[in-house]
């Protein structure tokens, strides 16, 4: 069976983009940013990626999900990058939105991403170098188990 897959993502710092590219390369899938106009109905399988913002998807991804058409007969997958937590809630949110549109949810993937925060003691870097090669390999393996 030849599945047409689309990977749609939002990335501010490049973390989620790295994971999106790994998934798209593993599946020979089309890759698009959420800001681009995309007709999702031409695909059988839709991967949606986001960084975790305040324990949920980034606003551009929420807007993208709000604009999705009926996805009956399609399948969906969620992936995200995160600082410390919120990944499960983010995956669950995307799952709910896909299922509301009639898509069959196939799973979710998450990994830590490098983040910079300014705190009382000055700027700090967390999860330096993430997602790393191992994270990206795991994303590719996950994608191959889905498609």
Percentages helix, strand, coil for the chain (3-state, rounded to 5) are 35, 30, 35
Rounded distance between C-alpha atoms, residue 111 and residue 147, angstroms:
20
Range scoring the smallest mean pLDDT among 61-70, 72-81, 118-127: 118-127
Rounded distance between C-alpha atoms, residue 13 and residue 131, angstroms:
11
Q: Which pTM was predicted? A: 0.93
Strand 75-82 with 56-57, pairing: unpaired
Task: Find out whether 82 and 52 touch, Cβ atoms under 8 Å.
Answer: yes
The topology (CATH level 3) of 5-146 is: Rossmann fold (3.40.50)
- The predicted-structure confidence for 26-50, as pLDDT tens digits, reads as follows 999 999 999 997 899 999 999 999 9
């Amino acid at each position: 069976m030849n599945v047409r897959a689309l990977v749609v993502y939002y990335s501010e710092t490049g973390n989620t983009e790295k994971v999106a590219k790994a998934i798209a390369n593993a599946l020979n899938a089309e890759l698009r940013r959420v800001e681009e106009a995309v007709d999702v109905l031409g695909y059988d399988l839709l991967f949606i990626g986001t960084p975790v913002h305040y324990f949920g998807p980034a606003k551009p991804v929420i807007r993208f999900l709000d604009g999705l058409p009926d996805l009956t007969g399609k399948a969906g997958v969620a992936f995200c990058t995160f600082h410390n937590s919120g990944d499960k809630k983010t995956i669950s949110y995307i799952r709910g939105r896909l299922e509301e549109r009639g898509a069959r949810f196939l799973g979710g993937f998450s990994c830590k991403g490098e983040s910079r925060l300014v705190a009382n003691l000055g700027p700090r870097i967390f999860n330096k170098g993430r997602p790393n090669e191992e994270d990206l390999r795991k994303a590719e393996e996950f994608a191959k188990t889905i498609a």
